[in-house]
Amino acid sequence: MPEKVVRIASPYQFAFFVAVPFFLFGAPFSLKLDSCLIAQELPGEGGRPEVVLTDAARILHESVLLIDGHNDLPWEFRERGTPSFDTLDISKPALELNTDIERLRRGGVKAQFWSVYVPVSTRLNGEALLQTLEQIDFVHAMVKRYPDTFSFCRSTSEIELAIKEGKIASMIGVEGGHSIENSLTVLEKLYDLGARYMTLTHSATLDWADASTDEGKHGGLTEFGEQVVVRMNELGMLVDLSHVSDETMRDALRVTKAPVIFSHSSARAICDHPRNVPDDILPIVKANRGVIMVNFYSGFVVPEAGERNRLLQTETTAWKQAGDNESVVKSKTTAWRKTHPLARGSIHDVVDHIDHLVKMIGVDHVGIGSDFDGVDSLPHQLEDVSKYPLITQELLNRGYTEASIQKIMGENVMRVFREAEAVAKKLSTQQK
């Protein structure tokens, strides 16, 4: 996960923020500076105006099946050393997080894939599976702690039932194939525990799959990697291609019999970063009937920020090649980010990615995958889980129909999930 970066406004901007409200209102006022998103830019960064929510958009948003493909709340709790909801109760305002129950409700979230990410370094000390199981336990504990809010779901029928009952359907996504420790049996165990997608890699190339931000070793998937994809199809587990190399994308799309997802990726043509999906892969995703769920992280959606992240990737690779261990690389990364802050961007940057993908492959292949509580910089007007209605508003502003917005917000992902279930059922019948 990226280190958190604090960006300080220039003296002139700070003076503007302080002086203008005092001049206009002639009364004391306060400025709330978010711990990780101190604004360097004025509202409507990039010359584009703030999105203003209308009654029409609010009413429409209340009706959409909003499914977010990726939220890292379990990891954020682990990072903070507060695995207990007695310590940090999300039924109360938790402004140090991007996520709490009140804001999930305000955001109109109907279903959420909770990421059970653990660092790729755990593959080196034999703790990948153990820590993944602990993260899975966290999600189950959250659902048990807040039964009036969350309902744990393993299928599309359970998602539909949870939503009908007014609860937030909660599913598990395993972020990184290192969690299975090179074992199909472990993959099956994670499925039994409720995992319904697995991202084939995270940031490091595995013994069986190349990652997008690491040196490629296999030219995509190995034979075992292909077996992983086949077994996921047989289980009805969604194949997630966020984080993987272009070659791994192609191999997985060739092998899979079910539609894939990119649970939290954006368009490389808009922001040139290897974590995003290149245009030449898009037609294959369309033919596969898959869905790309657009990420909100500034470093993956804002063009200038993408350039900064590519520079950092080059530096990181050089440090590793020079023999720096993980803790040294992390320290150097923190220092580098302080002197090379990301451009935060705005909601418009995120919708630009949605626009591009829709224009390239159609509205049936786009979704939402925020990456909330897993990133250090988020665009203006997309700071937390309460902000999703503004995406609906901006899509309306850009001429999208209500039916198209319904698809983008969640219907496309439900369709992919149903098709994956159908493929698993068909394969099971064929094997009997």
Active site residues: 70, 72, 175, 202, 243, 264, 371
Tokens of 224: 């075992």
Alpha-carbon distance of 316 to 111, in angstroms, equals 36
Partners of 152 in the beta sheet? Answer: 170
Angstrom CA distances, 58 to 108, 388, 390, 393, stand at 10, 10, 9, 8
* 61, 389 Cβ separation under 8 angstroms: yes
**412 vs 409: CA distance, rounded Å:** 8
Q: Which two tokens stand for residue 413?
A: 């992902």
Neighbour count for residue 247 (Cβ, 10 Å): 16
DSSP 345: -
H or E segment at 366?
strand 366-368
Virtual torsion, Cα 154, 157, 163, 168, nearest 10 deg: 10
The residue behind tokens 């958009």 is 57
Q: Where is 114: in which H helix or E strand?
A: strand 109-115
Contact 276, 266 (CB under 8 A): yes
Coil/strand/helix, residue 377:
coil
Helix (H) / strand (E) containing 202: none
For residues 7 and 38, the answer to whether their CB atoms sit within 8 Å is yes
* Residue with the two structure tokens 């705005």: 346
Q: How many residues does the chain have?
A: 432
What SS3 state is found at 363?
Answer: helix
Residue 37 contacts residue 8 (beta carbons within 8 Å): no
Burial of 185 (0-12, 13-18, 19+ CB in 10 A): exposed
